[in-house]
Structure 1
Amino acid sequence: MSTAVPTGTAFPTTTAVPLVLAGARGHGRWHLENIRRLQDKGIVRLAGICELTPLTPAEIPEGLGTPEQSADFGALLDSTGARIAVVCTPIPTHTDLALTAAARGVHLLLEKPPAPSYAEFRRMADGVAEAGVVCQIGFQSLGSHAVPAIRELIAQGAVGEIAGVGGAGAWARPESYYRRAPWAGKRRLNGVDVIDGALTNPLAHAVATALALAGATRAEDVTGIETELAHANAIESDDTSCVRITTAGGRPVVVAATLCAEDPDDPYVVVHGDRGRITYWYKQDRVLLQRAGHGPEELEYGRTDLLENLVEHLADGTALLVPPAATEAFMRVVEAIRTAPDPVTLPDDAWHLLPGEDRRVVPGIDGLVAAAADTLALYSELGATWALTTAHPKEVST
């Protein structure tokens, strides 16, 4: 995907671009380290940090100096002269913060998921476009060079006719994970949508990447969605779920996820062809190509950092990797999960607490997740008696 650089926004390539980071704790720590890496290369300069409670000197990585700090995002953008804002704050705050930046002509790297509902996503995307600023959505897996390489393999017919795309994520999270913030594990907080579930937040990359490889990224590429949402933990949202997306091209996309794995492993996406398959471990940028008449081929790829890509796009028109339009189909999945009935509570005999690890485990879930990705079937179709299917409208309006 690419977007034109708005008139008058091109950056000089010889000056480090000043930026503000909103949300510097939790996952924001990863952004701090990445900003330090790019600052060392002279690409960006951390001008400010927006947090409700200022970071201590010990929380700021060495080499980033003493950036200005404030809990007032708009005022901080004004006082620092930031040209880019990296937004890594609670999901319900994304749209308002993005529009605050856009109103000041500040370009954006917005963490995934971009919004908790399709309406909020649309408000953000339309507002950013009207303001003439550029927004990159933080699906880091879509910066992998493996993605265009797999698309090319599909186009060349390397594995024959494509039957569908599966995704599998078997992760583990301790019970304390859901106590990390007031919104953690919530579907709503104080009447505001949050939708912090397995498929929409920690394993959202599996959904977005599977859709990208299926060639279904725009809203109109989705014609139907079925969801099965459940939880073993004492939370509102889902921790063990699957979704089947029917695409306009007729290829199903099935993604299964759990945060209650027996043996956590790297998530992956698999493209099923009638003469082979392509498996992509997106956190490793590693691809396994298996096809008729050939031995298995393992391939490793590089990755383009999304913040660096945003700066390059603004400097010289390099194609933007993940504009909002590239996440419309993903946001349709978020909307389906938002409007689905509340997740099913797994019966007591379907899970147990793992001694010493403070986490709940669903016996057999690892195999169920893998089977869903392998067969493009939902949990209920694989014999999970606790699974409840919700079919969403075949016609998904835009």
Structure 2
Amino acid sequence: MSVPSVALVGTSGYGRRHLEQLLAWQGEGLLRLAALVDLTFDAETRRLVDKADLQLLPTLDGLAVDLTVVATPPHTHFALAEQVLRSGSALYLEKPPVPLLSQLDALRAIEPRRRAEVGFQQARAVVERVESLLPEVGEVERITGHGCLSRPDSYYTRSPWAGAWYVDGEAVFDGVLFNPLAHVVHTALTLARRIDASWRPESVEADLYSVHDITGDDTGVLRIRSSHGPVVVAVGTTAADVVRPPAITVHGTRGRITVPHQGDAHPLLEALKNVDGTPDPLIDLDAVRPFVSVVNQAVAAGEPVRIHRTTGISDLVERVVDTGNLFAELGSGWARRPARRVDREATK
């Protein structure tokens, strides 16, 4: 049986990691890398594929492959994903999926001819690990996705969209919980729905700040409530004074558990093995709707507050994990603005 042909759209940033992995899998005979698509190809990309038999293309136009991996800036995802879905190729769309809920719903309205998934890394492995430990905590009251990352200023000066909510009026939403820590937010929301199938993100309280010189946020807390099921909290920073890896913490009536957000499964590999198969229901286009809805509600709450670089952010993140409170409720000194709440109806 022939191996699937693959195109990679986007070869810098996270796309470079995909390129290296795809080349390794090609060496194992798992796929045929047929094309790279990008506006430009730097010297390192050309070196990596120097002896590979593939096309370097500026667009997807006319390209026919079994699977297309899209690893481009968030605000380009919608147009590319729509083109891929209409072409008949399977789609692996790097996270975050798309900025706007209207864009996601437009993609969901297209009947996919092949597998379509979003690259929320390790979602299934983490969800299943957490679920195996839930008997220890009793009835689940709160789920928190959290992480403390440290990014230099150069991380945000590498491109016009980095750290921005909008570029030339176009939605990007490159916030700390919307992109660098999007995977833990999605997993926390997924767990809430697994615990109570009627769980919906009915209201979002957003407490967002920026330490770096950016127009978006790099430090923030979201508290998400539903009429049914647990409260979900997401908290994180890319301005950490102490780095703490992403994790999921669950509080229940009998205690708490914390599970690192990592695992052995690689969803892209699963997609490669069966491009015509049923997508993983934890990361298909329907499954990511709560995440995109929460992002839209958080942005609707208002722009982030600019603060000076400060120590103690990582400890404050831990206090949020412990208490479920927002920064502004913990008396941090710099987080004085009352959090703003947006109900789901406000985003329609």
TM-score normalized by the length of structure 1: 0.81
Pick from 10, 13, 21 the counterpart of residue 26 of structure 1: 13
Q: Which amino acid aligns with 2:342?
A: H
Q: Is the 8 A contact 2:247 2:261 kept in 1?
A: yes
Any residues of structure 2 matched to 1:143-154 within 5 Å, and which? 143-144=124-125, 146-154=126-134
1:382 to 324, 330, 341: 330
Cα gap change, 1:182 to 1:119, in 2 (>3 Å): same
Distance 2:72 2:198 in 1: 25
Taking only aligned residues, the RMSD between alpha carbons, in angstroms, comes to 2.3
The 3-state SS of whatever aligns with 2:205 is strand
User: Following TM superposition, by how much is the alpha carbon of 1:152 offset from its aligned partner in structure 2, in angstroms?
Assistant: 3.6
Partner letter of residue 252 of structure 1? V
Larger of the two Rg values belongs to structure: 1
Would you say the 8 A contact 2:122–2:265 is kept in 1? no
- Correspondent of 1:121 among 92, 104, 125: 104
Cα deviation digits, residues 96-149 of structure 1 (max 9, x gap)? 10111112101100011101111112122223xx243431100012142x4213
Determine whether 1:254 maps to 2:237. no
Matched, 1:46 2:33: yes
2:290 to 329, 334, 337: 329
Higher mean C-alpha deviation, range 270-279 or range 61-70: 61-70
The match for 1:105 is: 88
Q: Call closer, same or farther: CA 1:64–1:43 in 2, change over 3 Å.
A: farther
Residue by residue over 1:226-283, the C-alpha shift from the partner in whole angstroms, topping out at 9 and shown as x without a partner, is 1011101111000111100113423111111111111212121101122222211113
Contact 2:89 2:113 in 1 (8 A): no
Deviation string for 1:294-323 (max 9, x for gaps)? xxxxxxxxx221112113343555755510
Matches within 5 A, 1:336-375: 336-346=297-307, 348=308, 351=309, 362-375=310-323
What are the within-5 Å matches in structure 2 for residues 55-134 of structure 1? 55-56=42-43, 59-61=46-48, 65-75=52-62, 77=63, 81-127=64-110, 130-134=111-115
Q: CA deviation at 1:384?
A: 2.8
The alpha-carbon deviation at position 364 of structure 1 amounts to 1.1
- Counterpart CA distance in 2 for 1:323 and 1:60 is 34
Q: Distance in 1 between matches of 2:81 and 2:255?
A: 42
Q: Which consecutive aligned stretches of 4+ in structure 1 deviate over 4 angstroms post-superposition?
A: 57-60, 216-220, 315-321, 394-398
Q: Percent identity?
A: 33
Per the alignment, in what secondary structure is the counterpart of residue 136 of structure 2?
A: coil
| Cα pair 2:37 2:57 within 8 Å, conserved | yes
Residue 152 of structure 2 corresponds to 174
The answer to whether 1:142 aligns with 2:129 is: no
Q: Is the 8 A contact 2:11 2:36 kept in 1?
A: yes
Matches within 5 A, 1:269-284: 269-283=248-262
Structure 1 runs not aligned, ≥5 long: 1-13, 286-302, 352-361
Quick check: 2:143–2:192 contact (8 Å CA) kept in 1? yes
CA distance in 1, matches of 2:139, 2:50: 51
Q: Note the alpha carbon deviations across 1:359-396, whole angstroms, 9 max, x for none.
A: xxx21111110111121111111113443311011657
Provide the TM-score with structure 2 as the length reference: 0.92
SS in 2 for 1:178: helix
Long gaps (5+) in structure 2? none
